[in-house]
């Protein structure tokens, strides 16, 4: 797989740009916010966590940039496509920024952040913004070029060991995996954080079935996911047995047709 020269700047640049926009908005709102702002809500509507107003730019910048960049780096290290990586990074960054801004907006003009009332649809609106950002990021990111399956190393002669390597992936499953991971990670910073603890393991399980690396050599066939597990190896003797069984079945079927 070969990435377009603009893929990396887009993948890594979008979360930074989104975080910068969030920081600029917070800086513009700073004079109207109370000295201690509510930043966390429990199971009810009352805030149970507060942060100094001066720490807000650092908080929104770190959360909406660093966390998505770490996720993008992990996806790139695993060799996942640029488009799904860009969509995950931009979507997660947008969600985190939108969540924080939507909880800060009602606190403007208040003397005590404990009096704030948050509208019930702020999480749904943030998810909608995140999905829109993810779609835009996927649309503007150039496609990767897949050269197909190539030998892992040159073959010196007919007697030398031969190795063949290839990749099998499902774009649909990768998109679903990215969406589940996005919602799971984003939920960790909301009152619905329990959802994140459920969705993140699900995303890992999906990722283990969305991208497979196949290697064929003298030891047989090795199939493993991009995460390194699960791993499935089929030995040469098993392949020969399968070939014999298939040949016998074909011969039996042909005899039945002729008869």
DSSP of 213-259, one letter per residue?
EEEEETTEEEEEETTS-SEEEE-HHHHHHHHHHHHHHHHHHHHHHH-
Q: How confident is the model at residue 237 (pLDDT cuts 50, 70, 90)?
A: confident
Contact between 225 and 207 under an 8 Å Cβ cutoff? The reply is: yes
Closest CA to 184 of 84, 105, 69, 67: 67
Task: For residues 15 and 91, give the distance between their C-alpha atoms in angstroms, rounded to a whole number.
Answer: 9
Residue 112 has pLDDT above 90, yes or no: no
Task: For residues 168 and 157, give the distance between their C-alpha atoms in angstroms, rounded to a whole number.
Answer: 28
Measured between alpha carbons, how far is residue 134 from residues 29, 65, 87, 92, 119 in Å?
Answer: 26, 15, 4, 8, 24
Q: What is the mean pLDDT of residues 226-233?
A: 74
132-170: pLDDT as tens digits: 988 898 888 888 776 554 444 444 445 555 677 777 777
Q: Torsion angle, CA of 235/240/241/246, rounded to 10 degrees? A: 130
Domain boundaries, the chain: 1-144
pTM above 0.85, yes or no: no
Task: For residues 192 and 95, give the distance between their C-alpha atoms in angstroms, rounded to a whole number.
Answer: 14
Which pLDDT does position 28 carry in this prediction?
Answer: 92
């Amino acid at each position: 797989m070969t990435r377009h020269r603009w893929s990396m700047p887009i993948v890594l640049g979008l979360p930074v740009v989104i975080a910068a926009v969030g920081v600029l908005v917070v800086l513009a709102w700073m004079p109207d916010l109370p000295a201690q702002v509510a930043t966390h809500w429990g199971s009810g509507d009352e805030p149970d966590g507060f942060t100094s107003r001066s720490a807000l730019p650092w908080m929104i910048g770190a959360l909406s940039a660093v966390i998505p960049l770490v996720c993008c780096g992990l996806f790139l290290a695993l060799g996942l496509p640029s488009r799904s990586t860009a969509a995950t990074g931009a979507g997660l960054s947008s969600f985190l920024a939108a969540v924080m801004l939507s909880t800060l907006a009602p606190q403007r003009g208040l003397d005590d952040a404990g009096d704030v009332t948050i509208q019930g649809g702020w999480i749904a609106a943030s998810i909608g913004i995140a999905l829109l950002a993810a779609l835009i990021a996927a649309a503007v990111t150039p496609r990767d070029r897949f050269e197909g399956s190539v030998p892992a190393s040159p073959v010196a002669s007919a007697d030398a060991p031969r190795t063949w390597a290839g990749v099998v992936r499902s774009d649909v499953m990768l998109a679903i995996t990215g969406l589940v991971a996005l919602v799971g990670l984003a939920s960790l910073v909301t009152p619905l954080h329990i959802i994140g603890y459920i969705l993140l393991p699900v995303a890992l399980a999906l990722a283990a079935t969305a991208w497979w690396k196949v290697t064929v050599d003298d030891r047989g066939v090795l199939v493993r996911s991009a995460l390194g597990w699960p791993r499935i190896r089929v030995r040469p003797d098993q392949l020969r047995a399968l070939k014999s069984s298939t040949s016998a079945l074909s011969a039996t079927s042909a005899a039945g047709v002729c008869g």
